[in-house]
Chains A and B, each alone.
Chain A
Amino acid sequence: MTERLVTDIGGFEAGEVPREERPPLFWQRQLMAVFNLLWREKHILNLDEFRRKMEEFTPENYAKWGFYTRRLEGVIGLLEEKGVLRAEDVEARTQQVLREGRDGHTA
């Protein structure tokens, strides 16, 4: 039987597709730079793993998250899976940035 991945949406009703120019935000550009470094230069992850990770999102999260958030969550999830990052460190760092802002933190 056909198992439909969360990404396998070909043929589903899409409704109106908004066509507007949305220049990427700074964090989104940073994310793409890091993502490309991770697979293209450092070979820490590959694109098939990345696709597989996004397919493992719940349908709710997949629908709720936009392009860049999916990418961010996918990269973080893969790096945690591979033991490059620890979930508690990501969470602690996130809370620190939310509390203190980004400027001046290089750690």
Chain B
Amino acid sequence: MVTPLEPRFAAGDRVRILDLGKPGHVRTPAYVRGRTGTIERFCGLFENPEERGYGREGRDRIPLYRVHLQQRDLWSGYSGRADDTLEIEIYEHWLAPEETA
């Protein structure tokens, strides 16, 4: 895996959260997979928990983002306020630009 030197996304970019179908320890819950949102901020570079979860420490640091989603996009029949939002931190390899996903 090639680690990008610069984060691929910036605040305001529209993204789709991927469903990588990767078994084992991942940090992307089912309820956001396939959903679209907006990059709220780049959080920094961190070691991949999918590696660290198996004791593989000290590997490449990868970009992490806070993604801003609308609650009404997450839950069918959402009964809360129409402008309710959710922010969740997602690693870059779980994200694609919205238009190409």
With both chains docked as a complex, state the minimum distance between the C-beta of B3 and any C-beta of chain A, in angstroms: 18
- Determine if B52 and A8 form an interchain contact, defined as CB atoms under 8 angstroms apart: no
- Determine if A2 and B19 form an interchain contact, defined as CB atoms under 8 angstroms apart: yes
A19-60 near B? 1/0 per residue, CB < 8 Å: 000000000000000000000000000101101100100000
B29 located at the interface, meaning its Cβ lies under 8 Å from any Cβ of chain A in the complex: yes
B22-53 near A? 1/0 per residue, CB < 8 Å: 11111001110100000000000000010011
Which of under 10, 10 to 19, 20 to 34, or 35 or more describes the interface residues of A?
A: 10 to 19
By secondary structure, the B interface counts as loop
- Determine if B29 and A10 form an interchain contact, defined as CB atoms under 8 angstroms apart: yes
- Determine if A48 and B30 form an interchain contact, defined as CB atoms under 8 angstroms apart: no
B43-66 near A? 1/0 per residue, CB < 8 Å: 000000100111101000000000
B80 located at the interface, meaning its Cβ lies under 8 Å from any Cβ of chain A in the complex: no
With both chains docked as a complex, state the minimum distance between the C-beta of B56 and any C-beta of chain A, in angstroms: 10
Residues in B with CB closer than 8 Å to A49 are 52-55
Report Cα–Cα, A43/B1, bound state, in Å.
Answer: 26
Report Cα–Cα, A10/B49, bound state, in Å.
Answer: 20
